[in-house]
């Protein structure tokens, strides 16, 4: 499994440990075909990744920056307060696991940077929803040519 996918899966598993988020579907991927009765839900995926050589020589090591997208999908009838409650809990889980010594994310990532939040309403669709999109950059290293090994 590519390290990128392993990180996304780990983030989804960590989000599922939150009392607020655990009762909702946690979806890994860009598609969230869920019914209104299942909302709210959270989707996690890797949007983009960049790479640079970190160590030249044999074996070369790459430093990778994965842009993680975590999206809370809620009913349009819910307020921005609900979006903000989900955003706060997602940030708590992400940074609690990264900053904790021997936390699950701390063991894998070199750095975790919060990039921002966007709250949008999609009312002109068959199923009106609000999206609370949080963007993080997760930095990790792999040996060149071995994208399934995090070092």
Going residue by residue through the chain (151 aa), what tens digit of pLDDT does each one get? 889 999 999 999 999 999 989 888 999 998 877 778 888 999 999 999 999 887 777 778 889 999 999 999 998 888 889 999 999 999 999 988 766 655 677 778 888 999 999 999 887 777 788 999 999 999 998 888 888 888 7
CA pair distance 15, 28, nearest whole angstrom: 11
pLDDT of amino acid 133? 96
Q: For the whole model, what pTM was predicted?
A: 0.88
SS3 of 51, please? strand
Q: How far apart are CA 102 and CA 124, in angstroms?
A: 45
For the chain, give the number of residues.
151
Q: How many CB atoms lie within 10 A of CB 122?
A: 12
Q: By C-alpha distance, which of 6, 14, 19 is closest to 86?
A: 19
pLDDT at 103: 65
Classify residue 60 by its DSSP letter: -
């Amino acid at each position: 499994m590519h390290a990128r996918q392993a990180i996304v899966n780990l983030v989804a598993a960590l989000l599922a440990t939150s009392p607020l988020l655990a009762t909702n579907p946690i979806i890994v991927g860009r598609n969230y075909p869920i019914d209104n009765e299942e909302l709210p839900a959270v989707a996690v995926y890797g949007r983009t990744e960049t790479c640079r050589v970190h160590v030249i020589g044999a074996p070369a090591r790459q430093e990778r920056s994965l842009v993680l997208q975590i999206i809370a999908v809620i009913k349009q009838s819910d307020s921005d307060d609900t979006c903000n409650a989900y955003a706060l809990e997602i940030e708590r889980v992400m940074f609690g696991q990264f900053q904790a010594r021997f936390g699950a994310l701390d063991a894998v990532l070199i750095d975790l940077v919060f990039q921002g939040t966007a709250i949008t309403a999609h009312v002109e669709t068959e199923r009106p929803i609000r999206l609370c999109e949080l963007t993080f950059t997760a930095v990790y290293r792999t040996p060149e040519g071995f994208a399934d090994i995090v070092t």
